[in-house]
Chain A
Amino acid sequence: MSEVPEKLEIKQRFPLWKKWLKPITEKDYKPGFYSYFALPKQVNSDFFKMPFGDVVREPLEKDWKLPENWKEIVLKEMKDTMRKNRGFKLFMDICVRCGACADKCHYYLGTGDPKNMPVLRAETVRTVYRYHFTPFGKIFGEWAGARPLTEDVIKEWYYYLYQCSLCRRCSLFCPYGIDTAEVVWWMRRVLSRIGINQRFMCISIEASSRTGNHLGLYAGGMAGSIEQALEELKDITGFELHTYINKKGADALFVAPSADYFATPHWYVLLGYLLLFNELEEKYGITITWSTYASEGGNFGTFHSYEAAQLLNSKIYKEAERLGVKFIIGGECGHMWRDKHQFINTMNNPPKHEEWRRFWEDPDLGQISAGLKGINLGEFISGEHGWIHILELVAALIEHKKIEIDKSRNDHWRATYHDPCNVARGMGMFEEPRYVLRNVMNHFYEMPEHTIKEKTYCCAAGGGMLADELMELRMRGVMPRMMALRYVVKKFGVNIMLTPCAIDKAQFPHAVEYWKIPVEIGGPMEMVGNALVLTAFGEKPEDRKYDLRGTPIREE
């Protein structure tokens, strides 16, 4: 063993501050860290048209084929944004570069790239703001930390603004409350005005505006998937279950992320939804329908621009009005809840039909079924704009003892819960999912306190970062979350991480394989489905032999 040195010296070199002002170019792009540009078929389609979307561009080429007057457009859009959104203007002005946010960003922790610190990520924009919009910056130039807008700055923006998952962990620690995600979002919109669009999110946005969901799945495919789920449930429970699709006059519309009826492990959550809906209908006569038009709750437009977000979420209130439902239930999706909780009422008009209006005068479920009296949707955090979160509904059903639960059916699972950024930090739903999990299973453990609830670490694939070409960035960015997970795996023997977010469920299976952590990934509704006793169908707690994954519940 080598001797312990008397004095430990770390050689640090601090580059000159002026060096940060020099933008990186396409030559500095590292594979695994930059996204592809959208193709004309995605951003110049009949369903989703972006300005200058008809040009094929390559990120690694020197010439980005920007429109002739790109500089004017960018400056004009920045100016407009500042005029309309005072928050953006404020965030441009008030940062004192204290660095409190620096080590709070999972991408910075994972990559070590200084410009991935939220302060510098936003500083790439602020420097340009100072040069073009403040007299001080204009006169003193780089001595005032200002730099002119050049094509290389656009390239630097594209690189770093698309290495952010808009999780907003940094804003939580900022003494001024600067929301770097908001800066990034508005600047992504500005980039989209000159034809710079990221491919992954644009494929999904185009598919969603064409077919109603991000997958591009047609109505028949969606219905077929749900039918298959019902068949599987018959094998597991032994009961003939059913569901409604596009049913007019139903009590509620159910909107889930489309991945739930397509991918695994999302699939088990779909089975959980269906079990709950069947029990509620048999017991309380409340009917819940799916829609093939509003077949996606998620909204990749929220990562791209205001216009795209508005376009994608317009369909849901329209569909609620067409079907004449009283309220909307939302499934296990992350960014959908930021969108539906904070944006939807200012982007689109809520439904105006009579049933909706009358129900929301006093939104007590007793209006629909006397047995459910006392559950008031107006008290829900998610209930503000006619939407309620499925887990919040389940929490209320458990609290009011409206459904029967057999905890022991989940005894083969030892679970922990990951807070999705947009559900926890975005909407403020911390306790309800935990209340549900503690009530449907006997083994539930928390990850360390500074990595959960409002301080939750991002899965590093949100905000449009789920693209395959960004795999390196994703695996690095997920590192803090994986370390927290490893801790509970070692300490409590956790074997499943539950998360109510479709992007998480797509990202984490890759992440736990990469970081070599032996856990499964799932959603809370899967555990609810396992534990729910279908009393209305005459099921007894001990009747269920298999869980929703088809594994035996009790050892013989």
Chain B
Amino acid sequence: MPELEVKGKKLKLDEDGFLQDWEEWDEEVAEALAKDTRFGPAIELTEEHWKIIKYIREYFLKYGVAPPIRMLVKFCKKEVNPNCDLQYIYKLFPQGPAKDACRIAGLPKPTGCV
């Protein structure tokens, strides 16, 4: 299974590039995950990206999963850009919130009937 090297430490990923152990995550890991081109185009993390990543991460620590898309859009409208909609989030994270935003935020892949 693929690995990711950060600060000389090898972190385990799953086949789709998600961190196997969410506790190993920090901001440097996020940078490395965003630059990794094995699982999609590289993303240059801007302040807007960080706001969303941190929101997702906090929600995950509190409630055990990523926030529902509708909550994410609502947060984004309030805190990031008043014109935010789903397309805007896809502009920031080309493969979508589940595949890119959750992966960079170090969350496990969303499951269930979603």
Residues of A within 8 A of B (CB): 36, 39, 41, 56, 58, 200, 203-204, 207, 211, 213-218, 220-221, 224-225, 228, 257-259, 261-264, 266-267, 296, 298, 333, 466, 468-469, 502-503, 505-506
B16 cross-chain contacts in A, Cβ below 8 A: 468-469
B63 cross-chain contacts in A, Cβ below 8 A: 217-218, 220-221, 224
Partner of B113, one of A36, A216, A506: A506
Chain B residue with minimal CB distance to A229? B70
A296 cross-chain contacts in B, Cβ below 8 A: 112
Q: Are B69 and A263 in contact (CB under 8 A)?
A: yes
Could you tell me the distance between the alpha carbons of A220 and B71 in the complex, rounded to whole angstroms?
14
Contact with A along B1-36 (1 / 0, CB 8 A): 100000000000011100010000000000000000
Partner of A263, one of B59, B68, B108: B68
Q: Are B113 and A263 in contact (CB under 8 A)?
A: yes
Chain A residue with minimal CB distance to B15? A36
Which 9 pairs show the lowest CB-CB distances between chains A and B? A221-B63, A214-B112, A502-B113, A263-B114, A259-B113, A218-B64, A215-B112, A203-B111, A503-B113
Could you tell me the distance between the alpha carbons of A41 and B12 in the complex, rounded to whole angstroms?
13
B64 cross-chain contacts in A, Cβ below 8 A: 211, 215-218, 221
A56 cross-chain contacts in B, Cβ below 8 A: 1
Contact with A along B99-114 (1 / 0, CB 8 A): 0000000001111111
4 other contacts beyond A262-B65, A298-B113, with CB at 8 A cut-off?
A207-B111, A218-B64, A267-B70, A502-B113
Q: Are A259 and B62 in contact (CB under 8 A)?
A: no
Could you tell me the distance between the alpha carbons of A58 and B68 in the complex, rounded to whole angstroms?
31
B81 to chain A, nearest CB (A): 19
B71 cross-chain contacts in A, Cβ below 8 A: 224-225, 228
Chain B residue with minimal CB distance to A210? B64
Q: Are A259 and B14 in contact (CB under 8 A)?
A: no
Given A217-B63, A228-B70, A228-B71, A262-B111 contact (CB < 8 Å): no
**What DSSP secondary structure best describes chain A's contact surface?**
helix
Chain B residue with minimal CB distance to A219? B63
A412 to chain B, nearest CB (A): 21
Partner of A221, one of B65, B74, B112: B65
A266 cross-chain contacts in B, Cβ below 8 A: 113-114
A225 cross-chain contacts in B, Cβ below 8 A: 68, 71
Q: List 20 A-B contacts (CB under 8 A).
A: A36-B15, A39-B20, A207-B112, A215-B114, A217-B63, A217-B64, A221-B59, A221-B62, A221-B63, A224-B63, A225-B71, A258-B112, A259-B113, A262-B65, A263-B69, A263-B114, A298-B112, A298-B113, A505-B113, A506-B114
Listed residue (B62, B108, B113) with the most chain A CB atoms within 10 angstroms of its CB: B113
Given A225-B68, A267-B68, A220-B114 contact (CB < 8 Å): no
Could you tell me the distance between the alpha carbons of A468 and B63 in the complex, rounded to whole angstroms?
24
**What DSSP secondary structure best describes chain B's contact surface?**
loop
Q: Are A262 and B68 in contact (CB under 8 A)?
A: yes
Chain B residue with minimal CB distance to A41? B20
Chain B residue with minimal CB distance to A56? B1
Could you tell me the distance between the alpha carbons of A466 and B15 in the complex, rounded to whole angstroms?
16
Could you tell me the distance between the alpha carbons of A203 and B74 in the complex, rounded to whole angstroms?
28
Q: Are B114 and A262 in contact (CB under 8 A)?
A: yes
Q: Are A264 and B113 in contact (CB under 8 A)?
A: no
Chain B residue with minimal CB distance to A296? B112
Q: Are B111 and A220 in contact (CB under 8 A)?
A: no
Q: Are B1 and A204 in contact (CB under 8 A)?
A: no
B56 to chain A, nearest CB (A): 13
A263 cross-chain contacts in B, Cβ below 8 A: 68-69, 113-114
Q: Are A257 and B111 in contact (CB under 8 A)?
A: no
Could you tell me the distance between the alpha carbons of A277 and B64 in the complex, rounded to whole angstroms?
28
Could you tell me the distance between the alpha carbons of A41 and B22 in the complex, rounded to whole angstroms?
12
Q: Are A261 and B68 in contact (CB under 8 A)?
A: yes
A333 cross-chain contacts in B, Cβ below 8 A: 113
A148 to chain B, nearest CB (A): 32
A469 to chain B, nearest CB (A): 7
Could you tell me the distance between the alpha carbons of A58 and B15 in the complex, rounded to whole angstroms?
10
A158 to chain B, nearest CB (A): 16
Chain B residue with minimal CB distance to A506? B113
Could you tell me the distance between the alpha carbons of A221 and B65 in the complex, rounded to whole angstroms?
8
A203 cross-chain contacts in B, Cβ below 8 A: 108-109, 111
Q: Are B62 and A220 in contact (CB under 8 A)?
A: yes
Q: Are A215 and B20 in contact (CB under 8 A)?
A: no
B86 to chain A, nearest CB (A): 9
Chain B residue with minimal CB distance to A199? B14
Partner of B14, one of A39, A213, A215: A39
Chain A residue with minimal CB distance to B69? A264
B68 cross-chain contacts in A, Cβ below 8 A: 225, 261-264, 267
B109 cross-chain contacts in A, Cβ below 8 A: 203, 468
Q: Are A259 and B112 in contact (CB under 8 A)?
A: yes
Chain B residue with minimal CB distance to A462? B113
B69 cross-chain contacts in A, Cβ below 8 A: 263-264
A213 cross-chain contacts in B, Cβ below 8 A: 112
Could you tell me the distance between the alpha carbons of A217 and B114 in the complex, rounded to whole angstroms?
13
Could you tell me the distance between the alpha carbons of A326 and B112 in the complex, rounded to whole angstroms?
29
A58 cross-chain contacts in B, Cβ below 8 A: 1
B74 cross-chain contacts in A, Cβ below 8 A: 228
Chain B residue with minimal CB distance to A503? B113
